[in-house]
Amino acid sequence: MSTSRRWAIVLVVGLAVLAIPTPSGVTTQGWALFALFIATIVGSIARPLPAGAVVFLGVALAAVTGLLSPRDALSGYADPIVWLVLAACFLATALLKTGLGRRIAFHFIRRIGHSSLGLAYALAGTDVVLAGFVPSNSARAGGIIFPIAQSLAHAYESRPGPTARRLGAFLLLTLYQTDVIACATFLTGQASNVLIARFAHDTAHVDISYARWLIGAIPPALIALAVVPWLLFRWFPPEVRDTPQARAIADDALAAMGPLQRAEQLTLVVFGSVALLWITTAWHQLNPATIALGGVAALLVTGVLRWEELTGAQSAWDIFLWYGGVLRLAEAVAASGVMPRFAASVASVTTAWPWALALALLVVVYCYAHYGFASITAHATAMYIPFLAVLLTLGAPPLLSALLLAYTSNLGAALTHYGTTIGPIYFGADYISQRDWWRMGLRVSMVTVALWGTVGVLWWRILGWW
């Protein structure tokens, strides 16, 4: 699609929303801000420009038109949450630079990579470990896991085309699906989880800390990580079952890397300290952003990272720009009265329903609406607040509702080859057809959403969270 057509879609959607009569209880300015917000989200999906540039234009337009004051429009960039994500992306730079992520992956492969299923578990395990402190799944699964998986596929003469099903197709499909689970397991699983936690706090007045997110995810995530690779091994089996050569490749790679270098040791210490402090924030009350910034400062002081590397980290600054802008626009729309009005309208349709039935239905609708979104962030930004507001209006427990929608925001990315950042990378390797990708993604999503909706909900009940 041409750039002009993409812009036309954005403009038509924004003007169409603006043309709708302003609902009662909402100011004219609030409705105009909502139209701008919707146009920005559509622009993030249609992408006439990169998503960060689209959001930047939305923020600029809000200030230029007077919908928000300049100070108010730019206030999102002063939010500690935005700096937390930026600092965590800088930490990921150290992981890639030092080679620590590759070393961890090869250790996993050496221990359990004697079969194709073992390889999938080894690389998925690496992704999960790194997700504990690296909020960029493109850095983890795209920058570390993908090249290793592709190299292993080539070692077994599995390439796009007739030999794709020998090993490569199974590995890449499984690693994409397990990355989605890793994204759901940690607050730092992917960039917008912190934004989702903020939405939960502002809408339902519940706090989803790093520790609470992780504790809530542990039972369903562990089961999903154990079951999903095995199911894909049955549903989408590779022709190569035994992979003894993979262990030799891992041994050779580790031998070439040599013993743990000073930079890797320092990075490991800093990452471990940051993760530990995030988990224990209830004890020391340090802001998570402060902890992350402290970790970056330690890497700078010790020379693991150079300042030029941070200023040149384009993806990190891109995330910073769209994250701060989206956060501020979403907060402004929520304060305008639009979301409570939407919640009341939807709730009136299901007013006689038990809240548990409404919760189940809305979570399913929320999940499969991801077919229409090209990123987790766009999906959550557009739908998390109104869906959560509806559930609160219907009397559903706040923390239960907030958590189910938060985890489902990630799980829905399993559906398509564009569901999250790494989708185009893995699909673009040309090992898997779109039909197979969507077919397997639908099956996996049914399994994972069911696990969080049963095991997860029961676990949160045991914890006394609802």
Per-residue pLDDT tens over the stretch 143-185: 778 888 888 888 888 889 899 999 999 999 999 999 999 999 9
For the segment 321-325, the average pLDDT, to the nearest whole number, is: 80
Predicted local distance difference test score (pLDDT) of residue 446: 97
Show the tokens assigned to 448: 């994972």
Name the CA radius of gyration of the chain, rounded: 22
How far apart CA 81 and CA 135 sit, in angstroms, is 12
Show the tokens assigned to 93: 């730079």
How far apart CA 104 and CA 120 sit, in angstroms, is 14
How far apart CA 435 and CA 173 sit, in angstroms, is 12
Predicted local distance difference test score (pLDDT) of residue 98: 87
Show the tokens assigned to 160: 């796009």
* Of 347, 377, 271, the residue nearest 45 (C-alpha): 377
For the segment 397-422, the average pLDDT, to the nearest whole number, is: 92
How far apart CA 138 and CA 133 sit, in angstroms, is 13
The single-letter DSSP state of residue 77 is: G
| Residue with more model confidence, 356 or 336 | 356
pTM: 0.79
Show the tokens assigned to 172: 């890449």
Residue 115's DSSP bridge partners are: 242
User: Is residue 191 classed as helix, strand or coil in its secondary structure?
Assistant: coil
CA 153 from centre of chain: 26
Interacting residues of 81 by C-beta distance below 8 A, sequence separation 6+: 194, 195, 198, 289, 327
Each residue of 242-254: pLDDT tens digit? 888 888 888 888 8
Percent of the chain with pLDDT over 90: 40
* Of 198, 276, 281, 208, the residue nearest 460 (C-alpha): 208
Write b or e for each residue in 39-75: b if 16 or more Cβ atoms lie within 10 A of its Cβ, otherwise e: bbbbbbbbbbbebbbbbbbbbebbbeeebbeeeebbb
Residue linked to tokens 């769209």? 322
Q: What is the rounded average pLDDT for all residues in the chain?
A: 87
**Please, which pLDDT band fits residue 327 given cuts at 50, 70 and 90?**
confident
Each residue of 105-125: pLDDT tens digit? 888 888 877 899 999 999 999
User: Cα 111–113–115 angle (5° rounding)?
Assistant: 140
**Please, which pLDDT band fits residue 2 given cuts at 50, 70 and 90?**
confident
> How would you classify residue 139: left for phi > 0, otherwise alpha for psi between -120 and 50, otherwise beta?
alpha
For the segment 281-289, the average pLDDT, to the nearest whole number, is: 78
Find out whether 300 and 307 touch, Cβ atoms under 8 Å.
Answer: yes
How far apart CA 358 and CA 401 sit, in angstroms, is 11
What number of helices (H) and strands (E) belong to the chain? 25, 0
Predicted local distance difference test score (pLDDT) of residue 344: 65
Predicted local distance difference test score (pLDDT) of residue 439: 94
* Of 145, 126, 139, the residue nearest 95 (C-alpha): 139
Percent of the chain with pLDDT over 70: 96
How far apart CA 387 and CA 342 sit, in angstroms, is 9
Work out the burial of residue 15: count CB atoms within 10 Å of its CB; fewer than 13 is exposed, 13-18 middle, 19 or more buried: exposed
Q: Taking each helix axis from N to C terminus, what angle separates 398-411 and 210-235, rounded to the nearest 10 degrees?
A: 40
Predicted local distance difference test score (pLDDT) of residue 80: 82
Predicted local distance difference test score (pLDDT) of residue 297: 94
How far apart CA 108 and CA 92 sit, in angstroms, is 19
